[in-house]
Amino acid sequence: MSQITVVVADEEKERRAACLRLLESEKGIRVVAEASTTAETLGSARFAPRILLLDSKLAMGRGLVLLPVFLRSSPDTKVIVLTGQSSGAALLDALSHGAHGYLNRRRLRAFLPKAVRKVAQGEAWVPRKVLPRIIERLAQLAHAT
Q: What is the pTM assigned to this prediction?
A: 0.89
pLDDT, one tens digit per residue, over 3-45 is 999 999 999 999 999 999 999 999 999 999 999 999 999 999 9
pLDDT, one tens digit per residue, over 67-114 is 889 999 999 999 999 988 766 677 777 888 889 999 999 999 999 999
| Rounded (10°) CA dihedral 137, 128, 57, 67 | -60
Could you write out the DSSP letters of every residue in the chain? ---EEEEEE-S-HHHHHHHHHHHHT-TTEEEEEEE-SHHHHHHGGGG--SEEEEEHHHHHTTTTTHHHHHHHHSTT-EEEEEESS--HHHHHHHHHTTEEEEEEGGGHHHHHHHHHHHHHTT--B--GGGHHHHHHHHHHHHHH-
Architecture of domain 4-144: 3-Layer(aba) Sandwich (3.40)
Sign, Cα dihedral of 51, 56, 59, 65? positive
